[in-house]
Structure 1
């Protein structure tokens, strides 16, 4: 375990292996432990860096502001750019799930010369998903709209029983809680019981529905130019409610991808398939 201080907070991470650098970022409401079934295999070919996003896990949880700027994907991406600089990796591959993939999208936009290739798990671009939201998506991803309500409403509701919320939120798919090993689940719950984590994760979503879209609009149609691999769960929501490749092609010039036989938590449901996809794409 290693703590790296950035200009905005402190980031907790693990790193190991040898070869080209590969940064792995987790989603909500998890930590870098998400990658525990994949990282050892990838470390045979890459120098793997698995980090907790700011606000999550054991990383720092800065105070927010009225615009939610400290939890903008730009701020969270800057953390990771500074982390990789501190570790001596000027260029790196980037693989990410869920909220971490949204951070990665902004990281690749703001630091294009540093990200060699980007692989995303079970997302499409944030702005375009909000734009194309349907009733079916809103019902399935209710937390997108619940977590952005003004503080401290969701924080107090979730904080009354964080374990029950986490288990309901993450165990509602077809696979239930089966994707999560007992050790990983215990770590996720330990971190999520922290009221500061609950608040920071709400701020992540509030930023996603506000300042992050402002930043997207300010890009003026600029697209990612590095290769992008989009993978999603064929039993999940993303591919049923959206056309992920079409939406990514609005934001990137070189896009390929397909569904995998799983739900939302692909790195834990089908780790061998995800590892194989990453190895083929990043090699």
Structure 2
């Protein structure tokens, strides 16, 4: 069994992130970024497979697991989350670009880094699962050529608007209602409550000013066919105008496919890395 080590990495605003590493330290680095309402452990199955040949890094994003908690909603803005990602890769792979795979909100926040010209050279490949870039997604939703797909996605995203309200989401978490509607029943209540701030800090701004950015980083979008929250058309079509090297792959599975089908997901990640390394 691969040994997992833990270190703490300080962020630009003074919080500490819990970072977990396994696999050969001299191998290429793969960074795994989790979403809401998870912590790094959602990647355990995938990490175990990848660690046979890669230096695998997963971390608790701010507000979850063993990482620090911001004292305001502003602490969850995408720019800060991208700064957190940079702090992690600076610590674990200062001299070489990293491969990245991200899920749900982890994917949303990592698009911010992938499309940042200052960070593009630090990322060798990017695998996005169930988490589109908010600017790309908003622009796609505004297009009039696929009204049916847009309406289906909005129906899937009802909770995003509920999360903008004061007190209600926190009450839903503590009562167990949120777990019934959007999953997360086994996740710590603290992580579920803190994570609501991700939605409050970022969604309204992106709805008003999408401002999607391009990227030259090779991108693989893995779209689970049975995802209850992010439709296949949104995942696969929204980035087409912005990712110059884009591959899309529709797979069987639900939203938490990273936990339920770790070997499948790990295989897709490895195949994409190998393809881009040729």
Q: Within the alignment, does 1:224 sit opposite 2:215 as a pair?
A: yes
Shift of 1:241: 6.2
Q: Which residues of structure 1 form unaligned runs of 5+?
A: 172-184
Q: Within the alignment, does 1:210 sit opposite 2:204 as a pair?
A: yes
- Given the superposition, is the C-alpha separation of residues 141 and 255 from structure 1 closer, same or farther in structure 2, using an over 3 Å criterion? same
- Which residue number corresponds to residue 43 of structure 2? 35
Q: Distance in 2 between matches of 1:270 and 1:117?
A: 21
For the aligned residue pairs, the C-alpha RMSD in angstroms reads: 2.3
Shift of 1:212: 4.9
Q: Give 1:137-148 correspondences, 5 Å limit.
A: 137-148=153-164
Taking structure 1 as the reference length, the TM-score comes to 0.81
Q: Distance in 1 between matches of 2:167 and 2:111?
A: 28
Preserved CA contact (<8 Å) 1:238 1:244: no
Q: Give 1:133-282 correspondences, 5 Å limit.
A: 134-149=150-165, 151-155=166-170, 157-161=171-175, 163-170=176-183, 186=186, 188=187, 191=188, 193-194=189-190, 197-212=191-206, 217=211, 222-237=213-228, 240=231, 242-282=233-273
Q: Distance in 2 between matches of 1:164 and 1:199?
A: 13
Q: Between 76-85 and 224-233, report the one with greater CA deviation.
A: 76-85
Q: Give 1:61-100 correspondences, 5 Å limit.
A: 61-64=69-72, 68-90=73-95, 91-100=97-106
Shift of 1:139: 2.7
Shift of 1:41: 1.1
- Which residue number corresponds to residue 145 of structure 2? none
Q: Within the alignment, does 1:59 sit opposite 2:59 as a pair?
A: no
